[in-house]
């Protein structure tokens, strides 16, 4: 194969790579995560007048006194209700003034179900994103292989061009050197008279 054909093939491969360079851009996810709901603490007073802040009046709510978690134990409120506080100020039980236990405010099963649905939607979204990334990666891998072929072709062309003479030598130019065939001993004999 001569250099002109190799160069033409390289030009065609390079044009194909450049022409197909516009990889479809996968739009960024428009699902912006919802900001966490701001929980305003409820302020209540104990029977002895101490002010408490409660994030949620139910099991799992956090009780704090002047910004720090309430100590472990029972707290009696102004209305006679008792709140049992566990580690880190978490409410572990509530007893009303008449000794009854208040009904659960929200159904934990429904809350868990909503959480599970949200999690499944997120996983599906992530799986779709990863599938898109895999497609883009495969496209880049294909283009890289083509580019390697072009580079190999360029190296082949360069080798061929370096081995091929560029023209016929000009016969009018005489190639000669200024070195004579006289040995060193013969040259030294001519200088012996200077040193004697």
Predicted confidence at residue 107, as pLDDT, reads: 60
Phi-psi map region of 99: left, alpha, beta (phi>0 left; psi -120 to 50 alpha): left
Is 173 in a helix, a strand, or coil?
coil
Band of pLDDT at residue 128, cut at 50, 70 and 90: very high
Mean pLDDT across the chain: 79
Q: Where is 149: in which H helix or E strand?
A: helix 108-163
Is 82 in a helix, a strand, or coil?
strand
Specify the DSSP class assigned to residue 154.
H
Half-sphere exposure of 82 (CA within 13 A, CB side): 10
CA dihedral sign, ordered 60, 61, 66, 67:
positive
| Mean pLDDT, residues 141-146 | 90
Kindly report the backbone phi and psi dihedral angles of residue 122, in degrees, each rounded to the nearest multiple of 5, phi listed first. Answer: -65, -45
Predicted confidence at residue 136, as pLDDT, reads: 92
Pick from 4-8, 68-72, 157-161: least confident: 4-8
Residue 149 or 33, more confident: 149
Pick from 16-20, 84-88, 148-152: least confident: 16-20
The alpha carbon of 40 is separated from its chain's Cα centroid by a whole number of angstroms, namely: 36
3-state helix, strand, coil in the chain (%, to 5): 45, 15, 40
Cβ atoms 53, 41 nearer than 8 A: yes
Predicted confidence at residue 169, as pLDDT, reads: 73
% of residues, the chain, pLDDT over 70:
76
Does 77 have pLDDT greater than 80?
A: yes
pLDDT tens string 1-48: 676 777 778 778 777 776 765 545 445 555 555 656 666 778 888 888
Q: Encoding tokens for residue 144? A: 């890289």
What residues are paired with 43 via a beta bridge?
53
Predicted confidence at residue 125, as pLDDT, reads: 93
% of residues, the chain, pLDDT over 90:
14
Q: Domain residues of the chain, as ranges? A: 3-28+109-163, 42-103
CA gap 133, 26 in Å, rounded: 9
What residues are paired with 45 via a beta bridge?
51
Does the reported pTM lie above 0.85?
Answer: no
Specify the DSSP class assigned to residue 105.
S
């Amino acid at each position: 194969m001569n250099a002109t054909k190799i160069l033409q093939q390289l030009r065609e491969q390079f044009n194909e790579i450049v022409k197909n360079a516009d990889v479809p851009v996968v739009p960024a996810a428009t699902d912006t995560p919802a900001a966490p709901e701001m929980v305003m603490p409820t302020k209540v007073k104990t029977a002895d007048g101490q002010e408490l802040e409660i994030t949620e009046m139910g099991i799992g709510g956090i009780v704090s006194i002047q910004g720090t978690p309430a100590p472990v134990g029972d707290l009696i409120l102004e209305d006679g209700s008792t709140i049992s506080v566990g580690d880190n100020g978490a409410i572990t039980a509530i007893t009303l003034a008449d000794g009854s236990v208040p009904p659960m405010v929200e159904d934990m099963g429904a809350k868990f179900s909503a959480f599970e649905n949200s999690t499944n939607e997120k996983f599906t979204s992530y799986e779709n994103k990863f599938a898109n990334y895999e497609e883009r990666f495969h496209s880049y891998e294909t283009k890289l292989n083509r580019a390697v072929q072009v580079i190999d072709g360029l190296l082949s062309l360069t080798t061929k061009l370096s081995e091929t003479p560029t023209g016929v030598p000009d016969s009018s130019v005489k190639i000669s050197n200024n070195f004579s065939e006289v040995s060193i001993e013969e040259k030294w004999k001519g200088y012996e008279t200077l040193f004697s």
